[in-house]
Amino acid sequence: LTWHYNCELLPDREVKCFCGSKNCRAKPIINAPLPTTSSSSSQSTDESILSTLNLTNISKIKRNLFSRMISFRYLSSHKTSIYRSYNLRSFQLGHDQYSVVIHFLDDTERTFHIDRRCKGIDLLNEVFDYLELADERKYFGLLIEDLTQDFAYRWLDSTKTLKKQLKTNILSYHLYCKVRFFVKDPAKQIDDEFTKYLCVLQIKKELLSGKLPCQRSTAAILAGYIIQSELGDYDVNKHQKRYLNDFHFIPFQNSDFENEIQKYHKLNRGQSPADAENNYLRVASSLAMYGVELHKASVKISNTNNSLYNSIIELHVGVCAIGISIFQNSIKINTFSWDQITKISFKRRTFYVQLIKNPSPARV
């Protein structure tokens, strides 16, 4: 039996043609552009086709259909017809499961298939099991790109189902595995060396993107530890003049900055990769914006003379291991340590922070 995959297999064991090919022996339908034949020959051909069809052949045809790409013809209300191509396996996968591409800190990626009814913790556990993270997986999370806003991301909620957090009209999702909570002193508080390595990669990316502000002199010190960890001790025979050209640490890196890195690389002789990474974390954790996640906020100040004229000050609220910091024009104006905070609550778009020494909550 010769017929094409864009033809339709009906429940009454008839194969109707939608392709219009001369080589297709399926039964034509009305308005199908097939070559005209005599009614007697067409009827005899149809009878011969139907006689060869049985339930076994039909089941084989169905299995063959669902294992290949099938073209369906969709007729609109207009006179013209619209053709679309779908992959049935992708369609069935997207209906029951999500295909999630996880981007890791070492610039590798892996695809995970998970049921859409599972919770966020199930996907987190699969990713952490793949990374072989043990006790310190609580520091990490998955970032979801918010398509409703430009360059906006939100963390995957471990308590909610995936279908409530991921759009259903997308076949493949891209999530980013990153450090969510930075400890105050990672060199001492983190025991696992692989977890420290992931923290180093995260800080390195934030320095390169400019998200983590840092002076060039401090950035050169940090880069020297990275080079020591990856290349070992400085060797004048192996490390020629331009051996740092393939490394990028800060925006707008130049030759003068690379010379500074080379100087610190020479000073780090004798340090093992683990020692160099510990020193890197020790210096990086002293930066003012280390581990601070900024959120936009505003404060409304009422005018005592005329309540109609109120001023609004734009701020940024930074949450980190030390506490909550308030920034105005990229300058830290106040910090509330976790020891001072007794209660945190919110009502709609108002955020309340209750302090020990202040009986009334601060509103942001």
- Residue 100: inside a domain: yes
- Residue 78: inside a domain: yes
Which CATH number do you get for residue 271?
A: 1.20.80.10
Question: Mean pLDDT lowest for which of 6-10, 163-167, 173-177, 237-241?
Answer: 6-10
Both 243 and 190 in one domain: the answer is yes
Q: What is the pLDDT of residue 277?
A: 96
Residue-averaged pLDDT of the chain: 76
Cβ pair 358, 343 in contact under 8 A: no
CA angle 43/48/51 to nearest 5° reads 125
Both 140 and 172 in one domain: the answer is yes
Both 167 and 213 in one domain: the answer is no
Among 73, 83, 66, 63, CA closest to 29: 73
Both 101 and 173 in one domain: the answer is yes
Which CATH number do you get for residue 344?
A: 2.30.29.30
State the Cα–Cα distance between residues 177 and 168, nearest whole angstrom.
Answer: 21
State the Cα–Cα distance between residues 170 and 33, nearest whole angstrom.
Answer: 36
Both 202 and 279 in one domain: the answer is yes
Q: What is the pLDDT of residue 353?
A: 82
Q: What is the pLDDT of residue 73?
A: 35
At 180, list the tokens: 């969510």
Q: What is the pLDDT of residue 36?
A: 46
Q: For 227-264, what is each residue's pLDDT tens digit?
A: 999 999 999 889 988 899 889 999 989 999 999 999 99
**Mean pLDDT, rounded, for 37-56:** 50
Both 55 and 112 in one domain: the answer is no
- Residue 1: inside a domain: no
- Residue 123: inside a domain: yes
Q: What is the pLDDT of residue 327?
A: 85
> Given phi > 0 = left and psi -120 to 50 = alpha, else beta, which region is 32?
beta
Both 172 and 214 in one domain: the answer is no
pLDDT over 70 at 358, yes or no: no
Contacts of 145 (CB under 8 A, 6+ apart): 152, 153, 174, 176
With both helix axes pointing from N to C terminus, report the angle between 273-284 and 216-231 in degrees, rounded to the nearest 10.
160
- Residue 273: inside a domain: yes
- Residue 3: inside a domain: no
Both 137 and 170 in one domain: the answer is yes
- Residue 52: inside a domain: yes
pLDDT over 60 at 181, yes or no: yes
pLDDT over 70 at 157, yes or no: yes
Last residue of a domain, one of 179, 214, 241: 179
Both 324 and 359 in one domain: the answer is yes
Contacts of 227 (CB under 8 A, 6+ apart): 244, 247, 261, 265, 268
**Mean pLDDT, rounded, for 203-223:** 93
Cβ pair 199, 188 in contact under 8 A: no
pTM over 0.85: no
State the Cα–Cα distance between residues 261 and 225, nearest whole angstrom.
Answer: 9
**Mean pLDDT, rounded, for 64-75:** 41
Q: What is the pLDDT of residue 340?
A: 83
pLDDT over 60 at 270, yes or no: yes
Q: What percentage of the chain exceeds 70 in pLDDT?
A: 66
Last residue of a domain, one of 85, 113, 132: 85
Contacts of 273 (CB under 8 A, 6+ apart): 228, 229, 230
Cβ pair 97, 115 in contact under 8 A: yes
Convert the chain into a string of H (helix), E (strand) and C (coil): CCCCCCCEECCCCCEECCCCCCCCCCECCCCCCCCCCCHHHHHHHHHHHHHHCCHHHHHHHHHHHHCCCEEEEEECCCCCEEEEEECHHHHHHHHHEEEEEEECCCCCEEEEEEECCCEHHHHHHHHHHHHCCCCCHHHEEEEEEECCCCCEEEECCCCCEHHHCCCCCCCEEEEEEEECCCCCCHHHHCCCHHHHHHHHHHHHHHHHHCCCCCCHHHHHHHHHHHHHHHHCCCCCCCCCCCCCCCCCCCCCCCHHHHHHHHHHHHHCCCCCHHHHHHHHHHHHCCCCCCCCEEEEEEEEEECCCCCCCEEEEEEEEEECCCEEEEEECCEEEEEEECCCEEEEEEECCEEEEEECCCCCCEEC
Question: Mean pLDDT lowest for which of 156-165, 218-227, 346-355?
Answer: 346-355
Backbone angles phi, psi at 323, to 5 degrees: 165, -145
**Mean pLDDT, rounded, for 126-146:** 89
State the Cα–Cα distance between residues 145 and 299, nearest whole angstrom.
Answer: 28
**Mean pLDDT, rounded, for 205-211:** 92
At 107, list the tokens: 């610039």
Q: For 78-107, what is each residue's pLDDT tens digit?
A: 333 333 333 444 444 446 788 899 999 999
Q: For 294-335, what is each residue's pLDDT tens digit?
A: 888 887 776 666 555 567 788 888 888 888 888 888 788 888
State the Cα–Cα distance between residues 231 and 264, nearest whole angstrom.
Answer: 13
Which CATH number do you get for residue 124?
A: 3.10.20.90
Domain count, the chain: 4
Last residue of a domain, one of 28, 53, 85: 85
pLDDT over 60 at 344, yes or no: yes
Domain around 304: 293-363
